[in-house]
Structure 1
Amino acid sequence: MKNFTIYLLGLIFFVIGILFIMDIFYTKVYENSIPRTKFQYLRSFKNKRIDYIFLGSSRVENSIVPNLIKEKTGKDGINLGFQASKLSDIYTVLRLVKEYNIKVDKVLIQIDYIFNIEEGYSNVFQYEIMPFIRENQVTYQYFDSHFSDRKEIFYFPFYRYCTFGSKIGFREIFANLINKRSKIIENYGFVSLYGNSFNHDNSLPEEINLKNIYFDKIKEFSTRNNIPIVFFCAPFCKHTKNLDFIKKLKQKIPDLYDFSMAIQNDEMFKNCSHLNNEGACFFTEYLADEILK
């Protein structure tokens, strides 16, 4: 019985040791490979200077073309829109800009109906930040505030890579090891959409919340750290219901650039909330003329 107990304990320690080694190996690969995800791309700007950064949801990711802004203004920038981002995610990215000592002349934040949302987070951002949970207090606090299994994610070796294997597991590790490039760097974070669905069922909220705690945190953080912030609303198709919501939003944010009706041509929309590639190019040049030139 004694020998069996010793054998069992040895086996347990061996497995835990292997898990520790795998956890360290996977993390080091993500830290040191050529950026494949937008979060890795953000980290690559540590201790660098950049003219502007766009933050927001997919309505930024699919709408802002930094290459065109470079051609039009000569300014360098990146698109850090993450699909399904809420203001809590945007606040985290803004804090990481400061944490990574990225010097930026202007941060442009897209805001719309997400003003009404305080709960939830972007699944895409969650997966991309996961390998770097132990990197600093900002990444740790992001998981500490959102996830019930945060202790397991943070303390148990290799737990995160097993639980989220389809997103950050072996296939993605192999792609990082062989430096398989994505279009993230080439397009400076922009992701293009093509075609038209002509889905006109989109509707904005009828009422606007009194406040959003993360919006207040973004304002306070940018003021305290002397980060120039510009708020804007990207276009919706003209068929969107309750567009008066943006007028109510502008009452909350008087300096909001309202581009919600900047595009009237349905052929420039993938759907009522997202521009296709043609629309993104048109809107990017329009916004550059209004804000960045």
Structure 2
Amino acid sequence: MKRFLIYSTKIFVITILVAVVLDGIYTAIFLQTKNRGKIEDVYNSTPKKFDVVFLGSSRANNHFVAQMFGDKGLKSFNYGMSGGHLFEASLLLKLMIERKYAIKNVILEADLNLSNEDEAEGISALFLPYIHNSEMIKEHFSTEDNFKELYYIPFYRYIKYGTKIGFREIFFGAINKKTNQLDNLGYHPLEKHKNGNMKNNIANLKPLPHNKYYEEIRSICKANNINFIAVMTPMCENVVGMNYFEKVKKAYPEIHNYENVVVENKYFSSCGHMTDEGAKMFTARIIKDFFNK
């Protein structure tokens, strides 16, 4: 029995040591990666200056054509993250402020994600390599149910979210393999597909009366003298439950409703995401309404 306990203790200690070493190696690689994605780009960056920064989900990533702002002499970047929620948008803005970004305007896509305060695990996982290096990230995750496991158990986060921050990502980060996330100033254009999903039902969605992360973004902008512009972006003409946008406007009267600026199906890749042509029409309207005065 004594031998078994000693053997078991050795195995446990070795396992912990290996986990600590692997955790350190993985984290060290993430701390020098800059060309893989938007989160790494911000976290490992030096101070930057922007006239306009875009935040939100894929409905920001695919809808705001940053180069059109550049053509007007406005330095901008689209930090929308496909699959992301306001949880991640708020944290990304916090990191920009922590990195001393000078931002004049934040345009936030705020519509469908106002209905929840959940983290989008596939996107939030991309912040976790830095959880021991950033008080901002630690604090943001501190209220999540699995925070203690993620923070205190070495290498656990890399195992749990292996498809996002596991060996494959480490390998590509180590060899500096670039992705397309930072191309086109962060904007990701879409094409029209004959099999695109052109039906959507949002009748059961309800905006929260005080979305925590929306309020955080607005407060951060106010505290840092950033002009805050929140907008609802277009959806195709087949959507059921479009009165959701009226509910948003009632709960958040400061949010500008642009859901009907582009409606024809021919301008949509799927019901919630415009093609490049539709995005350019929408972006032109945003520039006209807010930056041509």
Question: TM (normalized to structure 1)?
Answer: 0.88
The one-letter amino acid paired with 2:38 is K
Distance (Å, rounded) in 2 between the aligned partners of 1:10 and 1:208? 53
Partner residue in 1 for 2:136: 138
RMSD: 2.4
Partner residue in 1 for 2:102: 103
Distance (Å, rounded) in 2 between the aligned partners of 1:5 and 1:117? 48
Distance (Å, rounded) in 2 between the aligned partners of 1:251 and 1:4? 66
Secondary structure of 1:101's counterpart equals coil
Distance (Å, rounded) in 2 between the aligned partners of 1:262 and 1:39? 30
The one-letter amino acid paired with 2:28 is K
Alignment deviations for residues 19-70 of structure 1 (CA, whole Å, 9 cap, x no partner) = 2121111111111023202211222443222222111111001112212321
Secondary structure of 2:142's counterpart equals helix
Contact 1:51 1:76 in 2 (8 A): yes
Q: How does 1:226-241 map to 2 (within 5 A)?
A: 226-241=225-240
Partner residue in 2 for 1:129: 127
Secondary structure of 2:234's counterpart equals coil
* Structure 1 runs, 4 residues or longer, greater than 6 Å off: 1-4
Contact 1:110 1:232 in 2 (8 A): yes
Alignment deviations for residues 87-119 of structure 1 (CA, whole Å, 9 cap, x no partner) = 33332222222222211111111111322323x
Partner residue in 2 for 1:36: 36
The one-letter amino acid paired with 1:132 is Y
Distance (Å, rounded) in 2 between the aligned partners of 1:50 and 1:266? 33
The one-letter amino acid paired with 2:224 is N
Q: How does 1:71-110 map to 2 (within 5 A)?
A: 71=71, 73-110=72-109
**Matched pairs, number:** 290
Post-superposition shift, 1:206?
7.1
Distance (Å, rounded) in 1 between the aligned partners of 2:228 and 2:3? 66
The one-letter amino acid paired with 2:29 is V
The one-letter amino acid paired with 2:213 is Y
Distance (Å, rounded) in 2 between the aligned partners of 1:121 and 1:187? 26
Distance of aligned partners of 1:267 and 1:43 in 2 relative to their CA distance in 1, 3 Å threshold: same
Secondary structure of 1:203's counterpart equals coil
Alignment deviations for residues 198-251 of structure 1 (CA, whole Å, 9 cap, x no partner) = 522333557654433333333333223322211111111123233233234233
Post-superposition shift, 1:127?
2.1
Distance (Å, rounded) in 1 between the aligned partners of 2:36 and 2:153? 26
Distance of aligned partners of 1:7 and 1:114 in 2 relative to their CA distance in 1, 3 Å threshold: closer
Give the unaligned 5+ runs of structure 2. Answer: none
Partner residue in 1 for 2:20: 20
Secondary structure of 2:184's counterpart equals coil
Partner residue in 1 for 2:260: 261
Partner residue in 1 for 2:69: 69
Distance of aligned partners of 1:247 and 1:144 in 2 relative to their CA distance in 1, 3 Å threshold: same
Secondary structure of 1:139's counterpart equals helix
Question: TM (normalized to structure 2)?
Answer: 0.88
Distance (Å, rounded) in 2 between the aligned partners of 1:254 and 1:246? 11
Post-superposition shift, 1:4?
6.5
Alignment deviations for residues 146-172 of structure 1 (CA, whole Å, 9 cap, x no partner) = 2x3321211111111122212211111
The one-letter amino acid paired with 1:100 is R
Distance of aligned partners of 1:34 and 1:206 in 2 relative to their CA distance in 1, 3 Å threshold: closer
Taking every aligned residue pair, what percent have the same amino acid on both sides? 27
Partner residue in 1 for 2:49: 49
Q: How does 1:216-235 map to 2 (within 5 A)?
A: 216-235=215-234
